[in-house]
Chain A
Amino acid sequence: MSRVVDVLVVGAGPAGLAAAARLAAAGAGRVEVLERERAAGGVPRHCGHPGFGADHRGRPLDGPGYARRALRAALRSGAAVRTGVSATGWAGPLSLDVTAPTGLERIRAKAVVLATGARERPRSARLVPGTRPAGVLTTGELQQTVGLSGSGGEAVRGRLGRRAVVVGGEPVARHAVRTLRAAGVETAAVVTELPCAAHGFGAVPVLTRTAVVELLGRGRLTGVAVRGRDGVTSVLRCDTVVFTGDWIPDHELARARGLALAPGTRGPVTDGAYRTAEPGVFAVGNLLRGVEPAQVAAAEGRAVADAVLDLLAGRPRPTAGVPVLTAGPLRWVTPGLLGPTAVPLLVRPDRRLVRPLLTVTQDGSPLRRERLRGDPVPWRSVRLGPEWTSGVDPAGGPVVVGAEEYAS
């Protein structure tokens, strides 16, 4: 079955739903969101903790509450949100092949917004050696396992275990520890290669500058071997290990469309309005760079609407911008392309930087230099306002974002 819509959004997480809501409200025509999971809302659905802003009465929202609100907003503005529907590949420049229980479809759109999100790298992608026992998972799988089995009780303990080690020191590790605790699973230790974790973990010991070097056990995990800062290897006994963080964009459709990936983020390169190199194809949210909070992803979803509406109205596409690169101890920057319009930048440091001097330069001449007041950390991005990118010459060379630390 072949159909035509105005805008096809792939992924009903915070970014995709926000894009659909705004576009449908702005009269973009038929706006359809495809979600391969059985429910819309994306990752927040599994995050039963606050940190997702507040509702209209000022009450804090947890992940599921946030997801429900985002879905409601999209539906109210007239977007169609279809769940259990998988976009499996491209059938043309703006046409996707889709598998659903109702059959196969080929959907052509005037604009396609990719909002396919990110995932945590599993054990294998991290090249952790050892055996392949049961009891090895990511935070995402942990949260869904608890979500499907309910907290506590024998069902969840049968599916999880009794004693876990959590790998990673970023904020998501805290959610893993909380989820385990709620399910009645003790956390033996949090293990991180970082020199310090993002925060405390209550009574759970945190082993910093420590790497997991081997998984042990046949059938079921019996422990993990770790090597600490002193170079000594020891074994932590556990029957569950949760690998947290280390996000990678879920960029299958983006790559299948031939979109170039930015080396730092492994997400598709876009300009400041979230246009990819392919006319009519846009990319937003955590597909762009691993993980940012839901509100950041949603803001990008809202922001992409302007460029999509320009396209639908037949307004000419601005000329491609200049590439944006990083130098020094910075892992990545988005967007990957800058045009004549000044836009904010997101920058992620490689490690904790002490009051760094950030610089934006083009062709060797500084556009802006400013010392940051705080110390940026590798698990949080620094947002540089549009003033940092004013004055970029769209005909010039690459824009380079750098960071320097001075001994005080």
Chain B
Amino acid sequence: MSVTRTGPLPSGPEAEYDVVVVGAGVVGCAIARALARHPLRVALVEAASDVGDGTSKANTAILHTGFDAAPGTLEARLVREGHRLLGAFAGEAGIPVEPLGALLVAWDEQQRAALPRLAEKAERNGHRTTRLLSADELRLREPHLGPGALAALAVPGESVICPWTTTLAYATQAVRSGVDLHLDCRVEKVRTGDPWHRLVTRRGVLRTRHLVNACGLHADAFDALLDRRDFTVTPRRGQLLVFDKFARDLVRHILLPVPGPLGKGVLVSPTVYGNVMLGPTAEDLDDKTATGTTAEGLAGLREQGGRIVPALLDEEVTAVYAGLRAATGQEDYRCAAHPALRYVTVGGIRSTGLSASLALAEHVLGLLADCGLELGPERPLAPVRMPNLGEAFPRPYRDAELIAREPEFGMIVCHCERVTRGEIRAAYASDIPPAGPDGLRRRTRARGGRCQGHFCGAEIRALSEEYGQGAR
């Protein structure tokens, strides 16, 4: 097991793998983790300098039940199973999850008429606990909703989750269980062969018997390296606003829009960090790097959010970001086994990859078996317990015993998010240390609060340099 970021890749037998998974987003990391249960040589290879650095870091952070998936699709099945699997794993691994439940709020007659149909669809997807709420019942549950809410469908089980911890937990468990993680290692060419495929990367050549494409937005481009052209990924941008923690009391559930002919609308949701999120927009683009926000996008979100929860707009905005979903023009995942190439493509994971990730990984193991991979016996994975970033669970700054043992956990450095020096040090000492300030934020929340570094930025930077040197 090793994690590399710089320098040439290992050579000789060290660079020979049974399976190489390309793409260390939430899906790729889950696949690597599932493979790590078997006596295989596995590598997880990522172009960016950190795991979960693409779509997996900039999404709506919701663990969906799959109640509204198209019944009978692969996505419907995998989200339903994934929800159950990740719910259980989160408890073991310390990933913050809050099962707040969702309310689909109807704002006009058309939307109200759609609610029973959505309840029926949920039932066909195996979710029998949805319930229709009258306007009065809805107001009791969400007293800060704007005027004009007519009714709602309550969907228990919809949860908010930390997407950063989830991806990192998968990757950490994979690495601890023997997977090699090569970061900053873009695959530029694939020379297919038998029994070895040769992957030419920026940092050297890897040989593998089996190959998994978990490249997300770039899954079509990676397919092309193997002369497969089955689909095209059209990035769909979602801009999101994160409101100050003072807004948290305004929203109790995940407030989902009712899908309709005029588009999907935006959601308002608490986050596990104690903020409130508003978004996403849905803009089909050509540029797979267009993760910027726009004035129109932000203004539109504020307008819509102000109708849903008017008091939201009185609060400060803590963060603004945009992510890209890997849409393919088809309303299902594009997972395919190519036995002749000993190659599996996991594409078109549009917006439910986080929820489905663990079930997707099991599905991919099946596809690899179809390609002739012999998994061999199963063994237990090395245990992981992730640092808690969730407000609903104890944080180090309130842990008297921990502070007594290690006073650095009593030294708050990032005051807005209450991140201690001890947590920053621990992040750099972890199996997969951060590559920079953004990675540190995703591991600790440091600098992610309302001041965005006004008070703490300089010190956190100095600490990162100090601890980061030790980590490398």
Whether A119 and B455, one on each chain, are in contact in the complex, defined by CB atoms closer than 8 angstroms, is yes
B381-437 residues with Cβ-Cβ distance < 8 A to A are: 397-398, 400, 403-404, 407-408, 410-412, 415-416, 418, 436-437
The 8 Å CB contact of A127, one of B246, B317, B461, is: B317
Contact residues in B for A138 (Cβ distance below 8 Å): 452-454
The 8 Å CB contact of B410, one of A103, A119, A213, is: A103
Please measure, in the bound complex, the distance between the C-alpha atom of A138 and the C-alpha atom of B404, giving whole angstroms: 35
* Residue B294 is within 8 A (CB to CB) of chain A in the complex: yes
Whether B458 and A120, one on each chain, are in contact in the complex, defined by CB atoms closer than 8 angstroms, is no
A123-B411 contact given A131-B291, A137-B457, CB 8 Å threshold: no
User: Which one of A141-149, A276-284, A290-298, A335-343 is at the interface?
Assistant: A141-149
User: Which one of A94-102, A365-373, A397-405 is at the interface?
Assistant: A94-102
A103-B400 contact given A140-B455, A213-B295, A214-B292, CB 8 Å threshold: yes
Whether A100 and B458, one on each chain, are in contact in the complex, defined by CB atoms closer than 8 angstroms, is no
A255-B404 contact given A104-B398, A123-B452, A129-B293, CB 8 Å threshold: no
Please measure, in the bound complex, the distance between the C-alpha atom of A104 and the C-alpha atom of B399, giving whole angstroms: 8
The 8 Å CB contact of A99, one of B404, B410, B453, is: B410
A86-B458 contact given A122-B452, A129-B293, CB 8 Å threshold: no
Whether A137 and B317, one on each chain, are in contact in the complex, defined by CB atoms closer than 8 angstroms, is no
Residue among A119, A129, A140, A159 with the highest chain B CB neighbour number at 10 A: A129
B295-319 residues with Cβ-Cβ distance < 8 A to A are: 295, 297-298, 316-319
A191-220 residues with Cβ-Cβ distance < 8 A to B are: 213-215, 218
A125-B450 contact given A99-B403, A99-B410, A145-B458, CB 8 Å threshold: yes
Closest to B420 in A: A99
A244-267 residues with Cβ-Cβ distance < 8 A to B are: 248, 250, 252, 255
The 8 Å CB contact of A141, one of B404, B408, B454, is: B454
Please measure, in the bound complex, the distance between the C-alpha atom of A130 and the C-alpha atom of B322, giving whole angstroms: 9
Please measure, in the bound complex, the distance between the C-alpha atom of A215 and the C-alpha atom of B298, giving whole angstroms: 14
Residue among A101, A138, A252 with the highest chain B CB neighbour number at 10 A: A101
Q: How far is the CB of A103 from chain B (nearest CB, A)?
A: 5
A81-126 residues with Cβ-Cβ distance < 8 A to B are: 84, 86, 88, 97, 99-104, 119-125
Q: Helix, strand, loop or mixed for chain A's interface?
A: mixed
Whether A148 and B454, one on each chain, are in contact in the complex, defined by CB atoms closer than 8 angstroms, is no
The 8 Å CB contact of A148, one of B291, B316, B458, is: B458
Whether A129 and B410, one on each chain, are in contact in the complex, defined by CB atoms closer than 8 angstroms, is no
Whether B437 and A132, one on each chain, are in contact in the complex, defined by CB atoms closer than 8 angstroms, is no
Whether B407 and A101, one on each chain, are in contact in the complex, defined by CB atoms closer than 8 angstroms, is yes
Whether A147 and B418, one on each chain, are in contact in the complex, defined by CB atoms closer than 8 angstroms, is no
* Residue B92 is within 8 A (CB to CB) of chain A in the complex: no
Please measure, in the bound complex, the distance between the C-alpha atom of A168 and the C-alpha atom of B412, giving whole angstroms: 30
Whether A124 and B397, one on each chain, are in contact in the complex, defined by CB atoms closer than 8 angstroms, is no
* Residue A36 is within 8 A (CB to CB) of chain B in the complex: yes
The 8 Å CB contact of A137, one of B297, B418, B453, is: B453
Whether B398 and A144, one on each chain, are in contact in the complex, defined by CB atoms closer than 8 angstroms, is no
Closest to A142 in B: B458
* Residue A357 is within 8 A (CB to CB) of chain B in the complex: no
Contact residues in A for B262 (Cβ distance below 8 Å): none
* Residue A134 is within 8 A (CB to CB) of chain B in the complex: yes
Whether A141 and B453, one on each chain, are in contact in the complex, defined by CB atoms closer than 8 angstroms, is yes
Contact residues in B for A121 (Cβ distance below 8 Å): 316
Q: By the criterion of a CB under 8 Å from any partner CB, how many residues of chain B are at the interface?
A: 41
Q: How far is the CB of A5 from chain B (nearest CB, A)?
A: 20
* Residue B320 is within 8 A (CB to CB) of chain A in the complex: yes
Whether B453 and A86, one on each chain, are in contact in the complex, defined by CB atoms closer than 8 angstroms, is no
* Residue B321 is within 8 A (CB to CB) of chain A in the complex: yes
Q: By the criterion of a CB under 8 Å from any partner CB, how many residues of chain A are at the interface?
A: 43
Contact residues in B for A104 (Cβ distance below 8 Å): 398, 400, 403, 410
Whether A132 and B321, one on each chain, are in contact in the complex, defined by CB atoms closer than 8 angstroms, is yes
Whether B407 and A248, one on each chain, are in contact in the complex, defined by CB atoms closer than 8 angstroms, is no
Contact residues in B for A97 (Cβ distance below 8 Å): 398
Indicate with 1 or 0, residue by residue over A157-186, a CB within 8 angstroms of chain B CB atoms. 001000000000000000000000000000
Whether B408 and A129, one on each chain, are in contact in the complex, defined by CB atoms closer than 8 angstroms, is no
Whether B397 and A86, one on each chain, are in contact in the complex, defined by CB atoms closer than 8 angstroms, is yes
Contact residues in B for A255 (Cβ distance below 8 Å): 246
Closest to A143 in B: B458
Please measure, in the bound complex, the distance between the C-alpha atom of A99 and the C-alpha atom of B289, giving whole angstroms: 42
Whether A86 and B403, one on each chain, are in contact in the complex, defined by CB atoms closer than 8 angstroms, is no
Q: How far is the CB of A124 from chain B (nearest CB, A)?
A: 5
Whether A36 and B295, one on each chain, are in contact in the complex, defined by CB atoms closer than 8 angstroms, is no
Contact residues in A for B415 (Cβ distance below 8 Å): 36, 86
Whether A140 and B411, one on each chain, are in contact in the complex, defined by CB atoms closer than 8 angstroms, is no
A103-B321 contact given A36-B415, A141-B457, A141-B458, CB 8 Å threshold: no
Contact residues in B for A131 (Cβ distance below 8 Å): 291-292
Whether B403 and A120, one on each chain, are in contact in the complex, defined by CB atoms closer than 8 angstroms, is no
* Residue B340 is within 8 A (CB to CB) of chain A in the complex: no
A44-95 residues with Cβ-Cβ distance < 8 A to B are: 84, 86, 88
Please measure, in the bound complex, the distance between the C-alpha atom of A130 and the C-alpha atom of B291, giving whole angstroms: 8
Whether A144 and B450, one on each chain, are in contact in the complex, defined by CB atoms closer than 8 angstroms, is no
Whether B403 and A88, one on each chain, are in contact in the complex, defined by CB atoms closer than 8 angstroms, is no
Q: How far is the CB of A67 from chain B (nearest CB, A)?
A: 16
The 8 Å CB contact of B317, one of A37, A124, A132, A141, is: A124
* Residue B462 is within 8 A (CB to CB) of chain A in the complex: yes
* Residue B108 is within 8 A (CB to CB) of chain A in the complex: no
Contact residues in A for B292 (Cβ distance below 8 Å): 129-131, 214-215
A304-344 residues with Cβ-Cβ distance < 8 A to B are: none
Contact residues in B for A88 (Cβ distance below 8 Å): 397-398, 412, 418
Whether A84 and B411, one on each chain, are in contact in the complex, defined by CB atoms closer than 8 angstroms, is yes
Please measure, in the bound complex, the distance between the C-alpha atom of A376 and the C-alpha atom of B407, giving whole angstroms: 50
The 8 Å CB contact of B403, one of A101, A127, A137, A248, is: A101
The 8 Å CB contact of A130, one of B293, B411, B437, is: B293
Please measure, in the bound complex, the distance between the C-alpha atom of A47 and the C-alpha atom of B256, giving whole angstroms: 47
Please measure, in the bound complex, the distance between the C-alpha atom of A148 and the C-alpha atom of B461, giving whole angstroms: 10
Pairs A–B under 8 Å by Cβ, sample size 7 = A84-B411, A97-B398, A127-B298, A140-B455, A144-B457, A145-B458, A149-B462
**Extra pairs beyond A88-B397, A100-B410 (9, CB < 8 Å):** A37-B455, A84-B411, A101-B408, A102-B410, A103-B410, A104-B398, A122-B452, A125-B316, A129-B294
